[in-house]
Amino acid sequence: MQITRRTLMSGAIALAGGMMIPRIAWTNASLDLTGGTLDTLSDGHLALPRSFVLADVPQPQADEVLAQFGIAPDAETLRPDCNLTLWRDGDRVVLFDAGSGPDFMPTAGKVMAALDALGLSAEDVTDVVFTHGHPDHLWGVLDDFDEPLFAQAQHHMGRIEYEYWSDPTLTETIAPERVTFAVGAARRLAVLADTIKLFDDGDTVLPGVTARATYGHTPGHMAFEVGSGAKAVLILGDCIANHHLAFAHPDWANGSDQDPDAGAATRIRMLADLAERQTVFAGFHLPHPGIGRAVRAGEGYDYVPLE
């Protein structure tokens, strides 16, 4: 496995009077695997209330961990990165998740600039594979005319996840603060309905891409193993949703998980396996470049990014 890290620059736009919009740097990690290339692409970042992540974890305990990562106790907002993963294998250009698009947060929805930096357009994407249906992973599938942005692509979603977000009664049962999630997902999935192929745990979604159930963050959340054996890379989505609390105390509840107990059980299982096997993984909300390994550290783990 050959690993490189590079910074790709989007083009600057010259304005009248000699003014120039500063170029945006898209940190990008590239792994050359047997048969293909895996890249991480920045979609920007989120701005989340601290309480959304901490859930019921006592603040003094959380502050002690967060301080080790430069996050002050009085910081009311956390700003996790958003990293999409791109897999190119032969004629296939596979995008894992579609990002936020323009309708979720102004700090996110930037993946098209990252694709452009790689010399790719939306029309080049042959497949979009979803880890789950939250806004920062799904809402980027539509263009400004509410048509599929990746018009040439086959879309893939786990059966449980698709049925959950497509349920017309979901707005009556989901937590009130997530009703907009449900409405937004249902609208987008309705547009994509004729292009979505469903799969289950353990299925081969595409050649070299295997689905792994990682339920808890959402009812049907999926991770994906790309490649095989010692050279496989695991695309985590949000089953391990940050590089601090989730690694140091995987048993602690995460407020972004829809089922906190199931989410914690998944993290405990996943981190133990990832650390033991030293599996390389790509995490959606891990710091750039978003690819690394887990290493045992006392009762918890450290996230070690690949250089």
**What is the CATH number for 140?**
3.60.15.10
In a domain, 188, yes or no: no
pLDDT digits (tens, 9 = 90+) for 233-249: 999 999 999 999 999 99
Say which residues have a Cβ less than 8 Å from residue 122's Cβ, sequence separation at least 6: 112, 115, 143, 149, 150, 151
Does 127 have pLDDT greater than 90?
Answer: yes
Under the banding of pLDDT at 50, 70 and 90, the label for residue 254 is very high
Does 211 have pLDDT greater than 80?
Answer: yes
Query: What does the pLDDT read at residue 35?
Result: 74
Cα 70 to the chain's mean position, in Å? 23
What amino acid occupies position 34?
T
In a domain, 36, yes or no: yes
In a domain, 296, yes or no: yes
Predicted TM-score (pTM) of the model is: 0.91
Under the banding of pLDDT at 50, 70 and 90, the label for residue 20 is very low
Collapsed DSSP state (helix, strand, coil) of residue 83 = strand
Residue 39 sits at φ, ψ, to 5 deg, of: -125, 150
Query: What does the pLDDT read at residue 19?
Result: 34
What is the spatial distance between Cα 97 and Cα 41, in angstroms, rounded to a whole number? 11
In a domain, 100, yes or no: yes
In a domain, 190, yes or no: no
In a domain, 182, yes or no: no
Residue 301 sits at φ, ψ, to 5 deg, of: -145, 160
Say which residues have a Cβ less than 8 Å from residue 206's Cβ, sequence separation at least 6: 92, 94, 127, 129, 156
Q: How many domains does the chain have?
A: 1
Under the banding of pLDDT at 50, 70 and 90, the label for residue 1 is low
The parent domain of residue 121 ranges over 2-155+200-305
Pick 158 or 1 by higher pLDDT.
158
Does 15 have pLDDT greater than 70?
Answer: no
Does 3 have pLDDT greater than 60?
Answer: no
In a domain, 109, yes or no: yes
In a domain, 167, yes or no: no
Query: What does the pLDDT read at residue 188?
Result: 98
